[in-house]
Amino acid sequence: MMEYERMEKGVIWSAGLVFLYLASIAFGLNNDDMINISIMAVLCIGFTFTYMMEGFPNLAHTSYAIIGAVTTFYLTRFHRFNPYDTWPFSILVGGLFGVFIFVAIVRPIKRHGGYQDVTLTFSSLAIATVLGGLSWVFSYWSAMGNAPTQSYNLSYLDFWLNGRPGIVYVGMGTCILISVYMYIFLTRTTTGISLRATAEDEGLAEVVGINSFRVHCVSWFISGGLASLAGSIVVIHQGMTPTGSDALLVSVMTGSILGGLDSITGAIIGGVFVGVSQKILSTLLFWLFGLDVLVWAGVYPIVFLVIALFFFPNGVLKGTEIDLKWIRKRLTRLRKAQSV
């Protein structure tokens, strides 16, 4: 019955997203909007991953995007890479940075006890500040090497297809593939199921033989890698300033809350919902009030966050609790298959 309810809610909200997408086309969905929707979905997946595993909001998550921006910019401008060829390196660097943050900061804080959630949240804010500062250092160093970087922008190197820049097709296609892969990874692989089990009850997961340290490292690698990939996409699309990714944080938090902070599927739905809804709202207000509403564009994410907290504090897919019995059965079945 519970599984049926989960599927039913997923179908309802997926249908709602299709409706929003069609409505957004009617309201003039452009290249910027499509890329923004894709990036929101990817960032929401990573943000939700961290919250599921560690139980605190990682305020530095969107700042990881600057790692991807710097990696892509550096390899392209200084080593003549094609911007798209840098994406695997971007994911690797961002993922390893995420693992480093877990091993060097998150894990020691958790071991010491006390007000862990508060300490970790403020620590993530400090990490975001440090990343912003380091990106300005790189900007200065790059300028000395005849590659000015007030904005990491490689859009002039992109190709065009049917009147649209290639990043629109490649970016959206990549985000769709990531979403499909994440669903398969979490429901059909031993590591993915171990992630879900650890997120629900780490002590019980260790009892059934799951290596919680390895699982945490994998989750941080995925989270950091996805955020870094988002930064690489933005660089090819329209560029990013050294601290430009910080502006995405409120929108990403909103999408994750809408989807439910215990559901990766919900994170995807919430991210797309926020991206499309912002476009529709801005167009409606422009029609009603003219150019004056552009001054208030920065308030839209905060408005959506308040709405999400007020109406959907547990997410639009409330009821998607993790079934530990199902997890144990899947783990046993996979282990038997591997031993054959």
How many other C-beta atoms can be found within 10 angstroms of the C-beta atom of residue 160? 9
Following DSSP, what letter does each residue of 114-181 receive, concatenated? SSHHHHHHHHHHHHHHHHHHHHHHHHHHHHHTT---SSB--GGG--EETTEEHHHHHHHHHHHHHHHH
Q: Please report whether residue 13 resides in a domain.
A: no
pLDDT tens for residues 14-58?
544 454 454 444 445 667 777 888 888 888 888 988 888 888 888
Number of domains observed in the structure of the chain: 1
pLDDT tens for residues 118-144?
888 888 989 988 888 888 888 888 777
pLDDT of residue 97: 95
pLDDT score of 8 more than 60:
no
Q: Please report whether residue 3 resides in a domain.
A: no
Residue 171: which of 93, 265, 235 has the closest Cα? 235
**How far is residue 316 CA from its own chain's centroid?**
18
Q: Is 303 exposed, middle or buried (0-12, 13-18, 19+ CB in 10 A)?
A: middle
Q: Please report whether residue 286 resides in a domain.
A: yes
pLDDT tens for residues 54-73?
888 888 898 899 999 999 99
pLDDT of residue 109: 87
Q: Please report whether residue 220 resides in a domain.
A: yes
Q: Please report whether residue 11 resides in a domain.
A: no
Q: Tell me what percent of the residues of the chain surpass a pLDDT of 70.
A: 77
pLDDT tens for residues 167-190?
888 888 888 888 888 888 888 888
Range of the domain at 98: 29-339
Q: Please report whether residue 10 resides in a domain.
A: no
Q: Please report whether residue 264 resides in a domain.
A: yes
pLDDT score of 13 more than 80:
no
Let me know: does 268 contact 324? Beta carbons within 8 Å. no
Question: What SS3 state is found at 314?
Answer: coil
pLDDT of residue 71: 93
Whole-prediction pTM value?
0.81
Question: What SS3 state is found at 209?
Answer: coil
pLDDT score of 113 more than 70:
no
pLDDT of residue 295: 64
Phi, psi of 164 (to 5 degrees): -125, 145
CA–CA dist 150, 136 (Å, integer)? 9
Q: Taking all residues of the chain, what is their mean pLDDT, rounded to a whole number?
A: 78
Q: Please report whether residue 5 resides in a domain.
A: no
